Structures are given as C-alpha cells and as structure tokens.
Amino acid sequence: MIRLEDRAAFVAALADLPAPDREAAEAARGRQARLTKPAGSLGRLEDIAVFMAGWQGRERPRAELIRAVVFAGNHGVAARGVSAYPPEVTAQMVANFEAGGAAINALTAACGAELSVVPLDLDRPTGDITREPALSEAECLAALNAGAASVAAGSDLLFVGEMGIGNTTPAAALAARVFGGEVGEWVGRGTGLDDAGILRKAEAVTAALALHGPYCTDAFETLRLLGGREIAAMAGAVLTARHLRVPVLLDGFITCAAMAPLFADNKAFLAHCLAAHCSAEAGHARLLDRFGLDPLLNLGMRLGEGSGAAVAAQIVRSALAAHGGMATFEEAAVAGVGAGIGGA
C-alpha cells in the first residue's frame, strides 16, 4: 500500500501514476486474434480482457482474487433532512453487512469476491458542509489512508462501495464543484426523497458550494471541504489500486463522485478503471460522460454498497474465462483464422 503522510504526499501520488503494461496488452490482443471465433465477435468482452491484461501484466489475466470493500461514514448534513432515513441507519446497516444480511453480501458471494467492511468513526459525523468543512486535514488524511490500507497487492480486481446516510448530498456537491452546471442536474432522490426533500438537498448543496467553492483549489481540499470519510476512503483505495496496478470496477454515483476531484487534477487517473454500471441516481450518467467511461451495465440500480460493481464483476469473469479458456485456431486445428466461424 501507499502511505499518505501529508497533503503533499497525496498530491505527489496523484501526479505520478503508473501506466499499464503495453506489451501484456498487445499479447492479449494477439491472443484474441487467434481464438476460435470471428474477430471482434465477443464485443466488449474482448476489450475487457485486453484491459485486464494490461493492468495485471499478463497475457492471460485472471479474476481469482476479487476484493470488495465497503466504507461507512456519517454526515453532519444529514440533520438537514436530505435523506429519507435517519443517521443511525448507517451503523445498523454496517451490523447487517457484518451479519451477512445485505445485498452486497449476497452479490459478492455470487461473484466470488472477498468482502471487507470498514466503518469510519460512525460516532463522529462530518461537519455540516453548509456551515463548515466536512473534515479537518488530519481527518481527511486518516480517511484516505484507511482506503489505502484496504487494498492488497496481488489482487486481481477491486471494487469499493459505501454506506452513509445523507451521502448523496456531498456527492452532488463534489460533482457540481468539479464539473459545474445547475445544482439540480446533480441532485437526485437518493434513498427515496419526496419533492420537499429534493428541495432541501438542493439548498444544502447550493449553500455548501457558496461557502467552500472558492477554497476547493485541488483534489485534497475538495474532498476535505465537501466530502466525507467514506468518500475520501474510496478515493484513497482507488488511488492505491492504481499504484499497485490493480484494476478497478467503479460502482455508482457516490463512488464516481469521490473520483471526480482526482480526475479533475489528473485526467489519466481513471485509466485503470471500468465503469461497472450506470445507476438510476440523477447525475451518474453525467459523471460517466465527463469521465469518458461507457458502463458495462444499465439495470436501473441505485443501492450503492458496491452492488452494481459486484454484478458487473460477473461480466469481467466471463470475459477472462473466454479469453483464457478458449482454444486458438492452431490448438483446435481449425483452418482459416477469423474466417467467419461461429458468426452471430
């Protein structure tokens, strides 16, 4: 893992990002051309295999060790009625994760992922972003490092998720601060807000941007002023994954909003990431468009927890099974490489 001793270390880690292994990616692309199928006939599955090969540094990438991490944190802004649920639900859901009773437990079991749950000072909500910074510098660094510590070298694939009542509000604030536009374009119903709740959320985001916007001078300050512990932890985990060359599946709106400040500072930041899905939460499709990422799935999901990424992990596993398990034309003694065999 990387250790972010101070803000300068975070800035340096974000500026100096490893690149994929081009030779491994080319070898994987060459293998795809020799497999017993028409060229391109497996569509995006072929692209996924090449992507994974580049980041794992092997012609035949694997998905045997998939790690999923759910970070949980509480938010001071939740007191403003920006969620349909009270803040104590965060801790209750963490207990549900730990007991194995949540959607993410079932979905990680289905895709073969190893699940970890990391609660972050649930008894200490962040500052109310309409009135004060979400986190101090020390708190932001602690959250980033909690994310960094969750990523193990040698993992084949990582995805992160979150739990935090009210966290679509700081997520909307982050997206609006990084990409601009009307606040209403980024504010959605979250856990099921009514119209009055949507208005309260939009007012909270507007107030937060007015207070902190001028001081969001880089990714660190943007995360610190507008984010939250679980949001910064996800950013720290994905940044660490990049330095360990672990490919990442990005989940929904909140996960992607956590990445937005880092992307703003370094447009190459998300090169090791695939967009797992496009959620039903307002703003997620806009974020993916700004990132230039095409989601693997669009199932109308809006749960969070890393749930969409867990479903998409099955797609990655299928891509690698075909890539590594199929015979080449030479191995199968089939003549005419790419000559229309098994066409759609």
The radius of gyration computed from the CA coordinates of the chain, to the nearest angstrom, equals 20
Identify the CA nearest to 260 among candidates 280, 281, 232, 279: 232
- Of 46, 305, 330, 331, which residue is the catalytic one? 305
Rounded to whole angstroms, the Cα distance separating 71 from 177 reads 23
Identify the CA nearest to 48 among candidates 240, 294, 288: 294
| Residue 163, token pair as written in the block | 């739990």
Contacts 24+ apart (CB under 8 A), 299-303: 301/252, 301/277, 302/188, 302/252, 302/253, 303/103, 303/252
- Give Cβ neighbours of residue 216 (< 8 Å, ≥ 6 apart): 177, 222, 225, 226, 261
How would you list the strands of the sheet with 113-119, edge to edge?
Answer: 113-119, 66-72, 157-163, 248-250, 273-275
Question: Could you give phi then psi for residue 280, rounded to 5 degrees?
Answer: -85, -5
Identify the CA nearest to 211 among candidates 199, 226, 223, 197: 226
Q: How many residues appear in the chain?
A: 344
Contact (CB, 8 A) for 135 and 7? no
Beta bridge partner(s), residue 118: 71
Contact (CB, 8 A) for 134 and 227? yes
Q: Is 132 a catalytic residue?
A: no
Rounded to whole angstroms, the Cα distance separating 202 from 187 reads 6
- How far from 216 is each of 120, 173, 291, CA to CA, in Å? 23, 11, 20
- How far from 39 is each of 26, 44, 76, 290, CA to CA, in Å? 15, 12, 54, 30
Kindly list the catalytic residues: 305
